[in-house]
Structure 1
Amino acid sequence: MNSSARSVAPGLVVAVDGTSGSGKSSTSRGVADRLGMRYLDTGAMFRAMTWWLLRAGVDVHDPTAVAARCAEPAIVSGTDPLAPTITVDGVDVATAIRSDEVNAAVSPVSAVPEVRSRLLELQRAVIAAESAESGIVVEGRDIGSVVVPDAPVKLYISADAAARAVRRAAEQGGADVAATQESLLARDKIDSGRATAPLTMADGAVHIDTTPYTLDEVIGLVVALVEDVGAHP
């Protein structure tokens, strides 16, 4: 935790939604660190579920099969913004859930209502437990609209598709930018069009387009917003 972190109001929840590759994960971790808050990556939970289903031999494109098995894995998320962890049945899967195989399968798994219901329960339990003393920054695609609709701070983070592709390709060690952009846009379409908890900007959310800003600048903008809503009671 940042030794110079400023305290925030107990129970404060910052809900961060947005598109893939927009910088919401790095922003969320940075804000949590600066303000001495906890951090929850809900996307990692969906990836962990997907990883488990693939390992279990479940057809991830069969919603009925996915629904039948999604209650089985024990998924545990760590909330340290500087070293977030995720385990499935006690196995560290932080690296495994970023594989191409999981990338290709996470959208259909995330669209299954039973999966979203199961993980929503887990997410709310983590938020209730971890926000009590230091507050928590929660990032995903339906945080402000579904998971914590009464969050005092709601953000929707986006960026130009080309900029997102360059950033994500760099994160992946120099992947093809054009192919990465196509993949990101496909993911956006799936997430925005699904029937259950689609990606959308929640009522009352502040929209931040990160395209023209550095990461540090975006973190500064969000920290200022959090302080504006009374982070220092």
Structure 2
Amino acid sequence: MDGPSGSGKSSASRGVARALGLRYLDTGAMYRAVTWWMLDRGVDLGDPQAVAAVAGEPALAMSTDPDAPGVTVDGVDVSGPIRGAQVTRAVSAVSAVPEVRARMVAMQREIIAVSLPTGGIVVEGRDIGTVVAPDAPVKVFLTASAEARAHRRTAELDGTTVEAQKAEMARRDALDSNRKADPLAKAADAVELDTTPLDLDEVIAEVLRLVKERA
């Protein structure tokens, strides 16, 4: 499940995983966790070489329970702190560093491999269908209008406005879509689903229909 922020990936992915009895992985949380770790240690995120030099140091552990997703770094639960404004502003810069992406993709593929014998996993992010799991039997690319995405994100966060979120999402979209390493992109064989007019239950139902049809 790929798509930009605010398109409904997280809620839909967890809902689909619950419905099918599968594991769930939020790859964006992994990049956020690494970003949090670097901010906490004062790494200069404007210097890609400085980011690359420590990309292998933070020890990440992911929960793949769709009812209790989370991430720890060096044994510290950072599931809450990684959603803060400071991490949100910085994560695209960290995610663009090839050394960071190489480590995260390797970890994500390992988590997928471990999950397959137990039934499978729903993985969400921005490069899952194109880079992380190009052989996945079902690929969905979620989209939504800028207005809808901004309204959804504003409802999730305190102390922000729809206009502020529209500007922030436009900034992140540009960074994520234009980075050299694994940019946000729709896989050629992915089904694009516009979630603008749909509620969460309708999005989940449509994805489950695609799963039944394709798998």
Kindly indicate whether residue 129 of structure 2 is the aligned counterpart of residue 129 of structure 1: no
Given the two structures, how large is their TM-score scaled by the length of structure 1?
0.91
- RMSD between superposed Cα atoms in Å: 0.8
Partner SS state of residue 72, structure 2: strand
Q: Distance in 1 between matches of 2:177 and 2:49?
A: 21
Structure 2 runs not aligned, ≥5 long: none
- Residues 51, 102 of structure 1: 8 Å contact kept: yes
- Residues 38, 131 of structure 1: 8 Å contact kept: no
Kindly indicate whether residue 25 of structure 2 is the aligned counterpart of residue 40 of structure 1: yes
Kindly indicate whether residue 149 of structure 2 is the aligned counterpart of residue 149 of structure 1: no
AA paired with 2:14?
Answer: R
Q: Distance in 2 between matches of 1:187 and 1:52?
A: 20
| CA shift digits 1:4-55 (9 cap, x unpaired) | xxxxxxxxxxxx1001101011000000001100000000000000000111
Partner SS state of residue 40, structure 1: strand
Q: Distance in 2 between matches of 1:174 and 1:59?
A: 27
Query: What is the percent sequence identity of the aligned residues?
Result: 58
Change beyond 3 A, Cα 1:212–1:118: same
Spell out the pairing of 1:88-103 with structure 2 (5 A cutoff). Answer: 88-103=73-88
Spell out the pairing of 1:56-71 with structure 2 (5 A cutoff). Answer: 56-71=41-56
- Residues 169, 176 of structure 1: 8 Å contact kept: yes
Change beyond 3 A, Cα 1:174–1:222: farther
Given the two structures, how large is their TM-score scaled by the length of structure 2?
0.98
AA paired with 1:41?
Answer: D
Partner SS state of residue 223, structure 1: helix
Structure 1 moving runs of 4+ over 2 Å: none
Partner SS state of residue 153, structure 2: helix
AA paired with 2:24?
Answer: Y
Q: Hey, what does 1:3 align to over in structure 2?
A: none
The correspondence for 2:178, drawn from 190, 193, 196, is 193
How many corresponding residue pairs?
A: 215
Q: Hey, what does 1:11 align to over in structure 2?
A: none
